[in-house]
Amino acid sequence: MASSNPYDHRSHDYRLLVKRWKAFCKDAKLKLQPFACSAEEHIYFIETARELAAQGEPWIYISAGVHGDESAPPWGLLEWAEAHVDLLRRHPFLIFPVLNPTGLILNTRADYAGMDLNRNFNHPSEPVVASWRKVIKGRKLAIGLCLHEDYDGQGCYLYELNGSKHILGERILADTSVLIPKDCRKRIDGRAAKAGLIRRKVIPEMTGQPEAIVLHLHGAPITLTFESPSEFCIVERIAVQKRFIESSLKHALGLT
């Protein structure tokens, strides 16, 4: 019996994903702009409502696909965008649909050079990172959302880097747990966690800095890194990634 899951055997199809983004951008009157290459594949970004950013409204940053073996985030980001065209027109968004296309195609964590991109965002000598830094340079950021997955995950969890006293993660995880439960381990990736939330007020010392930390150093007051469990159903994982974006924008910025 054939599967009814539209993502069976296609979740790592980067060219299909780009085709979908191009169709979306055409309909929404947006531009899918190449800024770097990964082997033979272009890497793209999208910016919306530039005129509002020029008037001082900060950018809302969202990225997916840093690790190629985490296939739900790029599709969840696409489905969120398709469902929120009006929101994209009303606020400046800076979107990176897939930062590691070769990894997505090969189903590997590493990029085309065998490197973990998310441990090298503080190394501007890396070509993709250097190009990425040029794109974000000079932009004031309201928030950074980084979409990930974890093959060891027993549910969804969230890294919150936030200097304020107002905790966002608990409310966000309450929203996402309707679709996939929280990962309730007391330690996740060697870090203390509470009901799926790993919260930091200060930047941890790391030799190789991930995207979220570099965004925070760039000026994003809040960065949220969401992890869905990659061994769960792909359809549920895509849905929960979409829900995470919706919930984060609602609780952090009051956007619906």
The per-residue pLDDT for range 170-180, each reduced to its tens digit, is 999 999 999 99
Token pair belonging to 52: 């509002």
The pLDDT value given to residue 3: 46
The pLDDT value given to residue 6: 64
Per cent of the chain over pLDDT 70 is 97
Per cent of the chain over pLDDT 90 is 89
- Superfamily holding 14-155+203-253: Zn peptidases (3.40.630.10)
The pLDDT value given to residue 204: 76
Gap between the Cα atoms of 68 and 219, Å rounded: 27
Q: Is the pLDDT of residue 75 over 70?
A: yes
At 5, is the pLDDT very low, low, confident or very high (cuts 50, 70, 90)? low
User: Would you call 227 a catalytic residue per the annotation?
Assistant: yes
The pLDDT value given to residue 165: 85
- Residue of 190, 112, 183 whose CA lies nearest to 148: 183
pLDDT, mean of residues 66-78: 98
The per-residue pLDDT for range 196-246, each reduced to its tens digit, is 999 988 787 778 899 999 999 999 999 999 999 999 999 999 999 999 999
Among the residue ranges 43-47, 51-55, 74-78, 160-164, the one predicted with the least confidence is 160-164
Q: What is the pTM of this model?
A: 0.96
Residue of 41, 149, 160, 227 with catalytic role: 227
Q: Is the pLDDT of residue 114 over 90?
A: yes
